[in-house]
Amino acid sequence: QVTLVESGGGLVQAGGSRRLSCEASGRSSDDYPMGWFRQAPGKEREFIAAISMSGTSTFYAESVKGRFTIGRDNAKNTMYLQMNRLKPDDTAVYYCNADRYFIPSATSQGQYWGQGIQVTVSS
């Protein structure tokens, strides 16, 4: 069992940057591949990025590739999402996701979710 808590959301202007954090507790985070999803108003939840347990493998949705960077610090039980060159279309609730057995992806959501955090990009 693991509990995930996101932080770092808020309001940012288009073209700006924001870093989200996801802190895991209850079990060592390096036991879990992790990822980020987001859900915009009126849309389905979509995969953004994922990272392997060791952090050596990363995966991105095409919509954020080259702008967002996923990382993790297992010593701090924390995963990050550095978001650069933000666009109004990036406005959404961002969710941290983890699973014991597989890397989250567009087709496979992990078992554990954070509560979500709002990111709003103003034009």
Percent of the chain's residues with pLDDT above 70: 97
Mean pLDDT for all residues in the chain: 95
Percent of the chain's residues with pLDDT above 90: 90
Evaluate if residue 46 carries a pLDDT over 90. Answer: yes
Q: Are 96 and 114 in contact (CB under 8 A)?
A: yes
When pLDDT is cut at 50, 70 and 90, the band that residue 20 belongs to is very high
| Mean pLDDT, range 44-60, rounded to an integer | 96
Both tokens assigned to 26 = 């209850």
Positive or negative, the Cα torsion across 37, 110, 54, 75?
A: positive
